[in-house]
C-alpha cells in the first residue's frame, strides 16, 4: 500500500471498534482497503480531510442510517387477571409468581393439567343436555413455551410437588406388597417347575397318559394365572422418560389417567422420528381422547391392551425449537397430525422487562387449599367406584350453547384463520366443557360441597369461557410466529448480536452452519439479514480473499448497541 495512507490508529489482530484514516490520494486499491477494513472487524470508518465524501463514494463505503425497531411478530396475549385464577389457587399462585418474578401462566397451566389427570376417567362431562353419546374425559395437555431463562421448570416443579407425598406413599405400598408377593411367588414358581418336569417326563414315556398330561397342564395354567393375578400393581400418577412398551403396561394398570411429564419436549418431538419409536406418537394421540381402548399386538411377548386409555401431557419447550418443528411439519406434512394442537393449555407469555429482587417465605398454609383439592382428587377412586357424568346447570347450558355456536361460526370461516389455528380451535369444543368441569369440581371440594348430586355452575362455566379467550390468543401468537418465520429469524438474529454471539466481521455462512434455531438454513439467514438491513441494524458485506473469490461477513450498525 502507498506510504501516503496514514493509519492514525493501529490495526492489529484484535477487533477494533473504530478506525480514523487520513487519506491524501485516491490511488489505493479498493479491494485491498475493503479487505483490510472488514477483515479486521471494524464497526465504522471515519475519514479526515477535504475528500471525505468523494473517498467514501469511490471506496463504496456504505454509511448507516438511523436504526429503527423491528416490529413485533404478533400482538401479545391478554394476561390472566386475579379474577381469572380459580379461588382455591389464587393466593398461592400470586405469591409464587411474585416471589419468583415468573409468568403466572406457567403455574396455572401446570396446575390445571395436573388436576385434569387426577380427575381423568372418574368424572366426565356431558356438554349437551340430551345427547348422551358425547361424553368428554377431561385429560388435558399442557405446554409451556419460553426462553431458557423464563423459569418454566421451577414453576412446574412448584405445582408438581403437591403430588410428591402421594407418589412416595404409593411407591412404598407397592414395595411392601411386592416383597410379600415375591415370597409367595418363590413357592409358586417351585411348584410350576415341578409340574413342568412331570409333563416333560410324561411325554417321554412310550405309552403316554394324556389324561395325566391334560390334568398337569391345567394345574400349570392355574399356577401361572395365580402369579399374574396376584402380582402387585403400582397405581402410578405420573411418568417421565419411559419406553412406549413400559408406558402401555403402566397405563393398563392406572384407574383414572396417567400424567406424562416431559420437561424438555424437544427430545420427545425429535424422538418420534427415530427408528423403533414410530408408534409413540400414534399411541399418545389415541390416548388423548380418553374413551378409546388401545391394543398393540406383539410377536415376542404378550399383547398390550389398555381399556379406555387416558393420558395428560405436560412439558416445556423453547419458542425457536417449536417454531422449527411447526414450520417443518407444515412444509413436509411429516408430523402434521394435530399433536401440538392437542395441547390446549399452551402458553407463550411475554416476560416483563422489569425485575425486582424479592425474598419472601411462602407460609405453608397458603398452599393448604390446593393441597386439600389434590389430596381429595387422589382419593377419588375410593369415593366413586364407577365413573360419574356431570351436566351443566340450566344457566350454564345457555352459556355453553351461545359459546358453542360462536366457536363453530368462527371455525367455518376458514379463510380468516390459519390452518394450524383452525386445527387448534377444532379441539375447543371439548376443551371448554373440560375446563368448566375441572373448575366446578375444585370449587366443590374447596367449599365442601357434594359433587355427586351437583351440576356445573354458572361461575365455573364463565371462567372456562374466559380461559378459552385468553388461551386462543396464546395459540394465535404461537402459530403466527411459525407463519412469520422471516421476522422471527430476524428477531433471533438481533438477539444473538446483542448477547455477543454474533459479532462484527462474523462469516455469514458460519451462522447457518451452526444450525441455530430459526437460523439453520441459508435462506433463514438471508431473509433475516434482508429485514435487518431494512431497519439499519445489520447487513452482509462482500470481501475478497487471497484467491480473489468473494465471501460475505456480518456488518453491524454500531448504534444497535445503544438503541436496544
User: What are the tens digits of pLDDT across the range 77-87?
Assistant: 999 999 999 99
Coil vs helix vs strand at 413: coil
Pairing state between β 538-544 and 388-391: unpaired
Tell me the C-alpha distance between 47 and 22, whole Å: 6
Distance CA 471, CA 473 (A): 5
Residue with cell 469511490: 58
Question: What would the mean pLDDT of 207-226 be, rounded to a whole number?
Answer: 89
Is residue 526 over pLDDT 70?
Answer: yes
Amino acid 4: pLDDT = 35
Q: What contacts 311, CB < 8 A, 6 or more positions away?
A: 139, 251, 257, 258, 259, 260, 284, 287, 288
Cell digits of residue 437: 368441569
What is the average pLDDT value for the chain, to the nearest integer?
82
**Arithmetic mean of pLDDT, 145-159:** 93
Three-class secondary structure of residue 45 per DSSP: strand
Apex 185 CA angle, 182 and 190, nearest 5: 130
- Mean pLDDT check: name the lowest of 13-17, 96-100, 293-297: 13-17
Cell of 97: 409468581
Q: Is the pLDDT of residue 96 over 80?
A: yes
Residue 402 has pLDDT above 80, yes or no: yes
Average of pLDDT values for 515-543?
86
Instruction: Give pLDDT tens digits for 46-71.
Output: 444 444 454 444 444 567 888 888 87
Residue 94 pLDDT > 90: yes
Nearest-5° Cα angle at 291, 316 to 400: 80
Q: What is the largest CA-CA distance in the chain?
A: 121
| Count of CB atoms situated within 10 Å of the CB of 468 | 19
Position with higher pLDDT, 27 vs 158 = 158
Q: What is the pLDDT of residue 15?
A: 37
The pLDDT of residue 415 is above 60 = no
Model confidence band, residue 279 (pLDDT cutoffs 50, 70, 90) = confident
Q: Which distant-in-sequence residues (6+ apart) come within 8 Å of 462 by Cβ?
A: 399
Mean pLDDT computed over 227-255: 82
CA dist., res. 271 & res. 322, Å (int):
14
Q: In the chain, what is the straight-line distance between the N-terminal and C-terminal CA atoms, in Å?
A: 39
Can you tell me whether residue 553 is helix, strand or coil?
strand
**CA-based torsion, 222, 224, 227, 229: positive or negative:** negative
Q: Grid coordinates representing 105?
A: 401462566
pLDDT grade, residue 309 (50/70/90)?
Answer: confident
Which ranges of 161-209 would DSSP assign to H, the alpha helix?
164-204
**Pairwise pLDDT comparison (564 vs 126), residue with the higher score:** 126
Classify 333 as helix, strand or coil.
Answer: coil
Share of the chain above pLDDT 70, in %: 82
422-425: long-range contacts (C-beta < 8 A, 24 or more apart)? 423/338, 423/341, 424/341, 424/344, 424/472, 424/475, 424/479, 425/472, 425/475
Please state the pTM of the whole predicted model. 0.73
Q: Which of 347, 346, 438, 430 is nearest to 86 (CA)?
A: 438
Angstrom CA distances, 425 to 105, 109, 140, 429, stand at 20, 18, 14, 8
Q: What are phi and psi of 383, to 5 degrees?
A: -100, -45
Closest by alpha carbon to 185, among 232, 234, 221?
232
- Residue 208 burial (CB < 10 Å; 0-12/13-18/19+)? exposed
Lowest-pLDDT range, 14-28, 85-99, 357-371?
14-28
CA distances to 263, 284, 320, 340, 420 from 266, rounded to whole Å, are 9, 16, 10, 12, 19
| Residues in contact with 511: Cβ distance below 8 Å, sequence separation at least 6, in sequence order | 502, 519, 525, 554
Query: Among 560, 516, 518, 522, which residue's Cα sits nearest to residue 538?
Result: 560
- Cell numbers linked to 77: 396475549
Task: Please list, in sequence order, all residues whose beta carbon lies within 8 angstroms of the beta carbon of residue 446, skipping any fewer than 6 positions away.
Answer: 87, 88, 369, 372, 373
Measure Cα distances from 55 to 46, 295, 341, 515 in Å: 11, 77, 58, 39
Rounded CA gap, 139 and 201, in Å? 54
Q: Cβ(34)–Cβ(543) under 8 Å?
A: yes
The tens digit of pLDDT for each residue in 433-482 reads 999 999 999 999 999 999 988 999 999 999 999 999 999 999 988 887 65
Q: Where are the beta strands (DSSP E) in 184-278?
A: 238-239, 258-264
State the alpha helices, DSSP H only, in 40-163.
52-58, 87-100, 104-119, 152-160
pLDDT digits (tens, 9 = 90+) for 163-206: 999 999 999 999 999 999 999 999 999 999 999 999 999 888 88
Confidence band for 546, pLDDT divided at 50, 70 and 90 = low
Q: How many angstroms separate the CA atoms of 455 and 123, rounded?
A: 12
Q: Name the region of 338 (left: φ>0; alpha: ψ -120 to 50; beta: rest).
A: left
Report percent pLDDT > 90 for the chain. 41
Q: Give the containing element (helix H, strand E) for 496.
A: helix 485-498
Each as own residue / partner, the long-range contacts of residues 265-268 (CB below 8 Å, 24 or more positions apart, any chain) are 265/143, 265/315, 265/316, 265/317, 265/321, 265/322, 266/317, 266/318, 266/321, 268/315
Amino acid at each position: 500500500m502507498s506510504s501516503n495512507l496514514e493509519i492514525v490508529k493501529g490495526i492489529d489482530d484484535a477487533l477494533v471498534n473504530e478506525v480514523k484514516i487520513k487519506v491524501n490520494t485516491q490511488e489505493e486499491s479498493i479491494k485491498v482497503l475493503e479487505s483490510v477494513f472488514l477483515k479486521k472487524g471494524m464497526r465504522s470508518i471515519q475519514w479526515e480531510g477535504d475528500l471525505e465524501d468523494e473517498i467514501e463514494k469511490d471506496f463504496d463505503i456504505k454509511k448507516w442510517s438511523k436504526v429503527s425497531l423491528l416490529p413485533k411478530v404478533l400482538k401479545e396475549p391478554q394476561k390472566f387477571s386475579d379474577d381469572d385464577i380459580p379461588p382455591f389457587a389464587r393466593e398461592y399462585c400470586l405469591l409464587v409468581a411474585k416471589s419468583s418474578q415468573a409468568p403466572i401462566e406457567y403455574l396455572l397451566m401446570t396446575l390445571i393439567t395436573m388436576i385434569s389427570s387426577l380427575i381423568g376417567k372418574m368424572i366426565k362431562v356431558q356438554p349437551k343436555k340430551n345427547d348422551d353419546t358425547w361424553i368428554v374425559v377431561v385429560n388435558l395437555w399442557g405446554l409451556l413455551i419460553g426462553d431458557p431463562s423464563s423459569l418454566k421448570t421451577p414453576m412446574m416443579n412448584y405445582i408438581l410437588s403437591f403430588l410428591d407425598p402421594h407418589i412416595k406413599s404409593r411407591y412404598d405400598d407397592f414395595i411392601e406388597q411386592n416383597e410379600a408377593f415375591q415370597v409367595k411367588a418363590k413357592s409358586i414358581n417351585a411348584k410350576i417347575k415341578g409340574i413342568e418336569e412331570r409333563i416333560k417326563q410324561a411325554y417321554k414315556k412310550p405309552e403316554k397318559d394324556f389324561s395325566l398330561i391334560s390334568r398337569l397342564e391345567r394345574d400349570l395354567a392355574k399356577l401361572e394365572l395365580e402369579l399374574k393375578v396376584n402380582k402387585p400393581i403400582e397405581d402410578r400418577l405420573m411418568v417421565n422418560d419411559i419406553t412406549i412398551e413400559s408406558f402401555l403396561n403402566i397405563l393398563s394398570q392406572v384407574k383414572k389417567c396417567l400424567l406424562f411429564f416431559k420437561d424438555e419436549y424437544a427430545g420427545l418431538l425429535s424422538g418420534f422420528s427415530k427408528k423403533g419409536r414410530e408408534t409413540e406418537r400414534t399411541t399418545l394421540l389415541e390416548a388423548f381422547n380418553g374413551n378409546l381402548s388401545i391394543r398393540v399386538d406383539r410377536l415376542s411377548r404378550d399383547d398390550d391392551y389398555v381399556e379406555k386409555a387416558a393420558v395428560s401431557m405436560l412439558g416445556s419447550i423453547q419458542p425457536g425449537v417449536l417454531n422449527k418443528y411447526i414450520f417443518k411439519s407444515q412444509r413436509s406434512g411429516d408430523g402434521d397430525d394435530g399433536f401440538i394442537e392437542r395441547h390446549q393449555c399452551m402458553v407463550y407469555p411475554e416476560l416483563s422487562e422489569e425485575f425486582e429482587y424479592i425474598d419472601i417465605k411462602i407460609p405453608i398454609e397458603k398452599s393448604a387449599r390446593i393441597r386439600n383439592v389434590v389430596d381429595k382428587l387422589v382419593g377419588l377412586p375410593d369415593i366413586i367406584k364407577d365413573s360419574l357424568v356431570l351436566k351443566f346447570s340450566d344457566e350454564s347450558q345457555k352459556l355453553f350453547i351461545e359459546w358453542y355456536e360462536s366457536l363453530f361460526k368462527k371455525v367455518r370461516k376458514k379463510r380468516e384463520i390459519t390452518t394450524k389455528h383452525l386445527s387448534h380451535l377444532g379441539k375447543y369444543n371439548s376443551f371448554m366443557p373440560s375446563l368448566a368441569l375441572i373448575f366446578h369440581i375444585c370449587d366443590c371440594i374447596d367449599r365442601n360441597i357434594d359433587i355427586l348430586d351437583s351440576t356445573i355452575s354458572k361461575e365455573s362455566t364463565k371462567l372456562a369461557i374466559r380461559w378459552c379467550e385468553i388461551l386462543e390468543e396464546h395459540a394465535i401468537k404461537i402459530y403466527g410466529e411459525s407463519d412469520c418465520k422471516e421476522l422471527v429469524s430476524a428477531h433471533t438474529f438481533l438477539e444473538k448480536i446483542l448477547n455477543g454471539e454474533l459479532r462484527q466481521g462474523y462469516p455469514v455462512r458460519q451462522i447457518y452452519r451452526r444450525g441455530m434455531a430459526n437460523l439453520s438454513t441459508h435462506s433463514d439467514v438471508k431473509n433475516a439479514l434482508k429485514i435487518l438491513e431494512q431497519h439499519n441494524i445489520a447487513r452482509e458485506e462482500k470481501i475478497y480473499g487471497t484467491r480473489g473469490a468473494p465471501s460475505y461477513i456480518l456488518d453491524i450498525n454500531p448504534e444497535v448497541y445503544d438503541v436496544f
